[in-house]
Structure 1
Amino acid sequence: MKLILLLISILIANVAIAQKHVPLPHGMVFGEKPDTAALMQASKLETFMGKKTRITTVITGKVIKVTQEKGGWFELGAGYNRIISAHFTNAGINLPKQLAGRTVIITGVAAKQFIANDLQHMAGDTVNGKKQHKANANSDRKISFEVKGLMVDK
């Protein structure tokens, strides 16, 4: 009886360890499969958006970290020390932590998030009552991305 329990516990331990080391294959898709016809780098997204606040697009970039597995929340590197915070519109999608460090292709809606300094700049006034320089006003702007589909690239 003890031998059977020992064998079962060893089997369970091996299965648990083996599941953690499963690599994500190239081309693995979460959600919808992205159309790569109009693919662009994540670092070029902000300049491509211009003055638009929302745009539907397909971008590629490196996942910095998966912040929340349930619901598919992750951060994507946008170059120049910028980060795009992304999440799936379908909350039923779960992303594995092994996605961190991988290059992915995502499709969805990019949106600029404005902070108080940007809104005051748009009004033409700041807290101090002085005009703000355009370069300084855009430095704190962040982009969020509502993901409809993700494909592991590299």
Structure 2
Amino acid sequence: MKLITLFISLLIANTAIAQKHVPLPHGMIFGEKPDTIALMPASKLEAFMGKKTRVTTAISGRVIKVIKEKGGSFEMDAGNNRVITAHFTNAGINLPRQLAGRTVIISGIAAKQFIADDLQHMAGDTVSGKKQHKVNANPGRKVSFEVKGLMIDK
């Protein structure tokens, strides 16, 4: 009886240790399998969107960091010091922290988020005089991505 208990405890401990060091394999899929027919790099997403605020597409890029493991929220590099914030539409997805630094392919809906200055400008409430501030090179728009499927590429 003691031998069986010892064997089971060693088996459980060995499995727990082995899971921490297993690298994520190429082709591993989270959620739905991404459609790679119209695949583009993440750096070209904003140019592809143009004046559209939402577009369905598939992009490939490097994951900077996993923000939330449960729910699948992460940040992706979009080039030129820009970041795409992505989250899964299915809240039941769990992403491992080991995904950071890996190149992935994601498919879903990209949406532009506007800052308050853009919204005021669109409403016609523009600021003039001393309160007017300089327009920086970064227009202040962020792109968020509602991910339906993710596949590890490299």
* TM-score (norm. length: structure 1): 0.86
Residue 106 in structure 1 maps to residue 77 in structure 2? no
What amino acid sits opposite 1:39 in the alignment? L
Offset of 1:121 from its aligned partner?
2.6
Aligned equivalents of 2:137, 2:53: Cα separation in 1: 15
Offset of 1:4 from its aligned partner?
7.2
Q: What is the alpha-carbon root mean square deviation over aligned residues?
A: 2.3
1:37-83 Cα deviation digits (max 9, x unpaired): 10001011011101100000000000011110111111111011111
Alignment-derived partner of residue 55 in structure 1: 55
Alignment-derived partner of residue 16 in structure 1: 16
Residue 40 in structure 1 maps to residue 40 in structure 2? yes
Alignment-derived partner of residue 95 in structure 1: 95
Contact 1:118 1:138 in 2 (8 A): no
Residue 117 in structure 1 maps to residue 117 in structure 2? yes
Alignment-derived partner of residue 152 in structure 1: 152
Aligned equivalents of 1:137, 1:79: Cα separation in 2: 14
Equivalent pairs, count: 153
Residue 142 in structure 1 maps to residue 142 in structure 2? yes
Aligned equivalents of 1:55, 1:137: Cα separation in 2: 24
Q: Which runs of 4+ in 1 moved over 3 A?
A: 1-13, 123-133, 135-138
SS of 2:15's partner is helix
Distance 1:84 1:151, change over 3 A: same
Contact 1:117 1:137 in 2 (8 A): no
* Structure 2: stretches of 5+ with no match in the other structure: none
Offset of 1:108 from its aligned partner?
0.2
1:94-138 Cα deviation digits (max 9, x unpaired): 1111111100000000000111011123234434468887x6485
Aligned equivalents of 1:147, 1:98: Cα separation in 2: 18
* TM-score (norm. length: structure 2): 0.86
